[in-house]
Chain A
């Protein structure tokens, strides 16, 4: 958005296009921010899809610094989500509540850093899920550029729009933390299933925890 610096030179002037409303919507998650202290904010990492109408970017992958991690999620409807270690996930591979997910690091133009969980198709899927496939394709374009997601419900997939503002002009504000740190912050010890002594197995076996 450019505003004239003085009254001497008032044109050209850039204004919003009223036909492109979706990209102007002020994300209402700002309501959430105020109650968290700065310290809390920095220790909390959300696992969520990039917000609608918000441009985000994904860092380049470097040696020893991946920009995404493959994890196994255990999701019980109505309960929290847990991360399961690969050996445990392998051991319980017959459980359909465990699914592989690619957690991708991203930061929005507003400086919010988070992990984008992209579900991966199960090996026995009859056909590829278009949402998952399109999300993975968009990742490639999101490296080195500001992009935003557009959900095309009718097509059953994501499209994306690339901002004319380059990442050189609007530098992404990634934190100094590694993706492993972010994953740790997103899933604390109470949300990790490291072995068979976790209450989720009781819930799955008996319907509720003891």
Chain B
């Protein structure tokens, strides 16, 4: 008998479909040539379903009694369902074996990639091999794909051929893989991952509207713009950090020394570095670095700009769910708009009568740290709206700390979560080491419970115990290097934030979400409805944080700055350059 908490499924359906994925082109995937499924019914009998256009209202296996859908990379099937059964909701509960593979083998995939990054997700054939499941010949699979992709006017014989392949190879392999993986599946939580994999495809389908005129101009004039931007940066810095179009790292480091700017050490290599991600905490202290940081990021982004834009002028890119060790999405940083610097979001422009809005989870990692550690002071600081300002005010005994003072305390609080020592903090902020030590001591004294909790996480990780998040995502220490230990300081915050993001996406499936970054969500709706949609999204975010963490995280939205209505273009409040890229 099913309960609110659990669903008893008397049948299992393994669907698969054949279509042109139009990979890398920014297009909505093609209309399905066929949708097939293997169904295991109440009596354990196997039923094979073959569907081709014209499709019925709903698939024949949906008989209004609970059944479990199992697929591999269900996003693809979600796309076929949206095409073939436009009024049919996504099947639920559903289990995606790709997602479950990523959950089960996270630590193993991180280890295989050397600990720093993570191996790419497996194909169905690779997953089957990993579990010793007999599967299809890759050459045959490629031939069938070629048949599906090469044309749109398939003959009935060709469709039958594709149906055979779909049923006897893809569906059958998925069924066999499921049976092998079953003992390792967390059946209680797997349906959340399954739902997420389908909803993330819905987001991709939506796509982000791109204003093609400025985008094409930037692309077209890149050969002209880039040398000018490089020259501009050289002029601002008073040094040839770009020489003959090539960035000269040594020149930049020399320049920093000349200006008595401390040089950050890359924690991974132990060497001096002027990488923009290491420079970022220093830009409020050193105006020279602010110019460098903003211009360098723009130059790099424009140089590699390859947004995947479909014929309807919308950016669609694979979001690579579970692509990092923390479980966050890992889309391309030059093909996906939200992977580019914030400034470039100004390419996004709503169509006539439409509006786009962005909702951010305010200070997400600090909020999650407060919730998980239960530190009452950090909770109170988070709830004040600006934890860093409040800490700086208390520590310095002032009512209104300056932007720079706030930045120092922000770097210190975040530094504790990232395991930054006094030396690095001093270098990053351009302050004396003794001063950095003093601020770290202040931080530890203020957030006693946070410090104790972080220590416990590290001890646990160091003993090889997996650190498990609220919905089951976990990571286990594999090498025990100092870098890896630092990973575990921050892992609970990032990975629980990823669980949070996934659940928000599942719950916001009925809203017109068109994009999501780590801590922000973008919706597109008519100008009349946009505020209502934003209100619903914000409530989902708040409710989800209460459900997951027993603590309400902020869903920040300012109607003046976070919403853009046609004919304006999108302008993120986090844009570094204020006017975008001069469009």
Q: Is A87 located at the chain interface by the 8 A CB criterion?
A: no
Name A18's contact: one of B42, B192, B460, B470 (CB within 8 Å): B192
A-B contact count (CB 8 A): 123
Contact of A79 with B by CB under 8 A:
no
Stretch at the interface among B72-80, B182-190, B385-393: B182-190
Per DSSP, are chain B's interface residues mostly helix, strand or loop, or mixed?
mixed
- Nearest A residue (CB) for B455: A35
Assess whether A14 is in contact with B456, with CB atoms less than 8 Å apart. no
Instruction: Tell me how far the C-beta of A7 lies from the nearest C-beta in chain B, rounded to whole angstroms.
Output: 5
List B residues 168-202 near A (Cβ within 8 Å).
Answer: 179, 182-183, 185, 187-192, 194-195
B133 to chain A, nearest CB (A): 12
Cβ contact within 8 Å between B456 and A32: yes
A15, B10: Cβ atoms closer than 8 Å: no
Closest to B2 in A: A17
- CB of A21 within 8 A of CB of B192, answer yes
A92 at the interface (CB under 8 A from B): no
A113 → B minimal CB distance (Å):
20
A15 near B44 with CB under 8 A, answer no
Can you list, as one digit per residue, whether each of B475-516 has a CB less than 8 Å from chain A (1) or not (0)?
A: 000000000000000001000000000010010000000000
Residue from the list B4, B11, B453, B550 in contact with A20, Cβ < 8 A: B4
Contact: A34 with B92, CB < 8 Å? no
Chain B residues 1-30 with CB under 8 Å of chain A are 1-12
The 8 Å CB contact of B192, one of A16, A22, A30, is A16
- Interface positions of A from 153 to 168, Cβ below 8 Å from B: 161, 164
Tell me how many residues of B have a C-beta within 8 Å of chain A. Answer: 53
Which of B41, B183, B469, B544 touches A3 (beta carbons < 8 Å)?
B183
Distance, CA A26 to CA B496, complexed state (A)? 11
Cα distance A15–B192 in the bound complex, in angstroms:
10
Check if A4 sits within 8 Å of B182, measured CB to CB. yes
Given known pairs A16-B192, A35-B460, the reply for A11 and B7 (CB within 8 Å) is no
Which residue of chain B has the shortest Cβ distance to A25 in the bound complex? B470
The A interface is mostly helix, strand or loop, or mixed, namely loop
A contact residues, range:
20 to 34
Q: Is A205 an interface residue (CB 8 A)?
A: no
Distance of A30 from chain B, by nearest CB (Å): 7
A23 to B4, CA, bound (A): 10
Give Cα distance in the complex from A28 to B471, angstroms. 10
Q: Is A180 an interface residue (CB 8 A)?
A: no
Interface residue? B226 (CB, 8 A)? no
Q: List 6 A-B residue pairs with CB atoms under 8 Å apart, sorted by A's residue number.
A: A13-B187, A17-B2, A17-B5, A20-B5, A24-B5, A31-B457
**B residues within 8 Å of A by Cβ?**
1-12, 40-42, 44, 68, 92-93, 95, 179, 182-183, 185, 187-192, 194-195, 372, 453, 456-457, 459-460, 463, 465, 467-472, 492, 503, 506, 544, 547-548, 550
